[in-house]
Structures are given as structure tokens and as C-alpha cells.
Amino acid sequence: MVSDVRGLTRQFLEYLEIEKGRSVKTVENYQHYLERFLEHSPVKKPSDITETNVREFRTWLNRQKGVSGEMKRKTQNYYLIALRAFLKYLRKLEIPSLNPEKIELAKIGARDLDLITAAELDRLMKGPQGEELPALRDRAILELFFSTGLRVSELCALNNDLDLSRDEFSVRGKGEKVRVVFLSPAAKHAIKKYLDKRGDISDALFVGYGKGSRKKEPERLTTRSVERMVKQYAIKAGITRKVTPHVIRHSFATDLLENGADLRSVQALLGHANIATTQVYTHVTDKHLREVHSKFHGKRRA
């Protein structure tokens, strides 16, 4: 049985990818975080991991330079989350080491959401003009983002076998978890127009139409290509702040909440494993509660 820390780390990363279904990018990130800890801390076996060397590692992280000055606490927490997950894996294997609960994450302020206004969203959605394939594709992508709240990686992985006679379809998200998302009439119409004009036999729902695409089978769009496309339409719409597919995902969630959806339902639609992740949107429900209070409170004393 593997007993050295580096061997167990490799085993843990394989476990994450194969058994837990984590993405290759997530596994690469965990590998980076754990390697930094092992480079800094003189540990050879699991029992060498102590509160002392974790505290020393945290102090070292706190003094590292980030993009703008000191490393942010949120970034420091990524290292600690990876280390804690590794320790939980060791406990699962009944290998003596530091109790993962001994590692507390640094407190960070409330996360600020990147949001655009309803008017800005409307201008963004109207960006793709004309009946050419690239415009039809881009209109379908934007409508699908806002209708479903898909992550950009989930959208790029879709195939062109969507059943448009139905208003819903299943998508495989983070951790290989499957959830149901729903198509608005606008999204269905946009996707149908795009697919009707397609003449290729690619399995991908969204493909590229760059230089040389007519000479060969078009390739599936990459997440980077979609991000660039969204950015270009945001600039065209006169939106000064940074707009990404994730910003449209935020708009999807806030639109639901503003119209009365409960947080648990939004959690399911977004594919969040933990309700705490969805609670970043409570500014919307807070606003609703303020309106309820203003409308209904203290009327008898008026």
C-alpha cells in the first residue's frame, strides 16, 4: 500500500477524476495547490502533516504576491480547500493524519456579483443581426444561455440532437451530475432557425464558422470562442463592464428570484451542489423583502 505523501497525492488526484468525476481542470488545480504545500512543508508521510506546518504554510501564502498586491484570501482558501479534501481522503482510507476539521478557511467578504441591467441584457440579446449562419448561431447561444442558466462548458458540450418538441432537456454538469433545464419559446425558435440552416453533419450543437470552415467539417465551438463572442456583443451593445457567459447565468438566476422563484428551485436549476453557493443571490430576495416590508408593515399606525 502506498504510504508516502506524494504517492498518496497522486492516488487522491486519480480518485478525484475517476471516482468523483471532477473535471481535468479541477484536478490540475488541486495538483497545483497540493504541490505548493508539499514544496513548502517538509512532510514525507501523512502523519507529518500538523497544525503547525499548515499554519506556517498559511503565513507563507499570505505573504505571496498576487495579481494586485498580496494574494487574496479567496485564493489562499483554494489551497486550504484542496489540502482539506486530501486529508478527508486519507481519513477515508483510515490513514492517520491531521483532522481535516482542524483547517479553518479564512473569512472573506461577501462576494460581489457581476451583473448587468435588464436594459443592457436586452441590448445584448438583440446583438446578433441578420439571417446568416454565424448570426443565427450566436442568437441561439445567447437565448439558450438566458433560458437555461447553463455554464459555458455545458453549452459547448451539447449535441444537435435536442428534442425541440419538448420544453426541457437534461444536461450533465459539474461532478457528472445530471439536471433538467428548460427552453423558453424564444430559445426554441432561435435554435430551430439555426439548425434548419445548418448543412453540415457535425454532432455538435454549436460549431465554428471561421476561415477555412467551408473546406472541412466545422469544429465544435470552444469555451474561449463563446466567451469572445459574448464579449464582442457586449461591446456592440455599449456595455462598459466585463460581460461573460457567467454574467448571463447570473442574470438568469436573478430574473427567476425577482419574479418570485424560491432559492432551492434556483439552486436545482443552476446545478449548485450546495445552497450556500446559491445564496450569493440573496441580494435579490433581500430587495423583495424590503418591498414587502414597505408595502405591508405598520399600516394600522398610519
| 188 catalytic residue (yes or no) | no
| 281 catalytic residue (yes or no) | yes
Cα four-point dihedral sign 152, 156, 158, 161: positive
Q: Residue 223: CB partners within 8 Å, gap ≥ 6?
A: 152, 153, 156, 245
Distance CA 144, CA 182 (A): 9
What DSSP string describes the chain?
---SHHHHHHHHHHHHHHTS---HHHHHHHHHHHHHHHHHS--SSGGG--HHHHHHHHHHHHTSEETTEEPPHHHHHHHHHHHHHHHHHHHHTT-----GGG-PPPP-PPPPP----HHHHHHHHT---SSSHHHHHHHHHHHHHHHH---HHHHHT-BS---TTSSEEEEE-GGG-EEEEE--HHHHHHHHHHHHH--S--SBSSB---TTTTTSPPPBPPHHHHHHHHHHHHHHTT--S---HHHHHHHHHHHHHHTT--HHHHHHHHT-SSHHHHGGGHHHHHHHHHHHHHHHTTGGG-
* Annotated catalytic residue, options 22, 84, 139, 151: 151
Provide the residue type at 251 as one letter: S
| 293 catalytic residue (yes or no) | no
* Annotated catalytic residue, options 174, 198, 283, 288: 174
* Annotated catalytic residue, options 84, 137, 139, 272: 272
Q: 203 with 160: CB under 8 angstroms? A: yes
| 189 catalytic residue (yes or no) | no
* Annotated catalytic residue, options 36, 123, 172, 246: 246
* Annotated catalytic residue, options 84, 188, 249, 250: 249
Cα-flanking dihedrals φ and ψ of residue 65, to 5°? Answer: -90, 135
Active-site amino acid positions: 151, 174, 246, 249, 272, 281
